[in-house]
Amino acid sequence: MSHYQLVLASTSKYRRQLLEKITIPFLSVAPKCDETPLTDESPQALVQRLAQQKAQSCPQQQPSLVIGSDQVCVVQGQIVGKPHTKEHATQQLMAQSGNKITFYTGLAVYNNVTGTTQCIVDQFHVHFRQLALRQIERYIEMEQPFDCAGSFKSEGLGIALFKRLEGDDPNALVGLPLIKLIDLLEAEGMTVL
Instruction: Note if 70 is an active site residue.
Output: yes
In whole angstroms, how far apart are CA 190 and each of 7, 65, 81, 113?
Answer: 13, 9, 33, 14
pLDDT at 20: 97
Q: What is the pTM of this model?
A: 0.92
Q: Where are the domains of the chain?
A: 5-187
pLDDT at 155: 85
E strand segments, 12-115:
26-28, 64-75, 78-80, 100-111
| 114: CB partners within 8 A, 6+ apart | none
| Dihedral angle, C-alpha 37, 9, 106, 172, nearest 10 ° | -130
Query: What span, in angstroms and rounded, lies between the C-alpha atoms of 51 and 71?
Result: 9
Kindly give the confidence (pLDDT) of every residue in the chain, 193 residues in length, as a single tens digit, with 9 standing for 90 and above: 468 999 999 999 999 999 999 999 999 999 999 989 999 999 999 999 999 999 999 989 999 999 999 999 999 889 998 999 999 999 999 999 999 999 999 999 999 999 999 999 999 999 999 999 999 999 999 999 999 889 998 888 999 999 999 999 999 998 999 999 999 999 999 999 8
pLDDT at 59: 87
**Catalytic choice (34, 40, 70, 147):** 70
pLDDT at 28: 96
| Dihedral angle, C-alpha 180, 185, 190, 191, nearest 10 ° | 0
Q: At what angle do helices 178-187 and 13-20 cross, to 10 degrees?
A: 60
Q: Which CATH architecture has domain 5-187?
A: Alpha-Beta Complex (3.90)
Taking phi first (over 0 means left), then psi (-120 to 50 degrees means alpha), and beta for anything else, what does residue 14 get? alpha
> What letter would DSSP give residue 88?
H
pLDDT at 81: 86
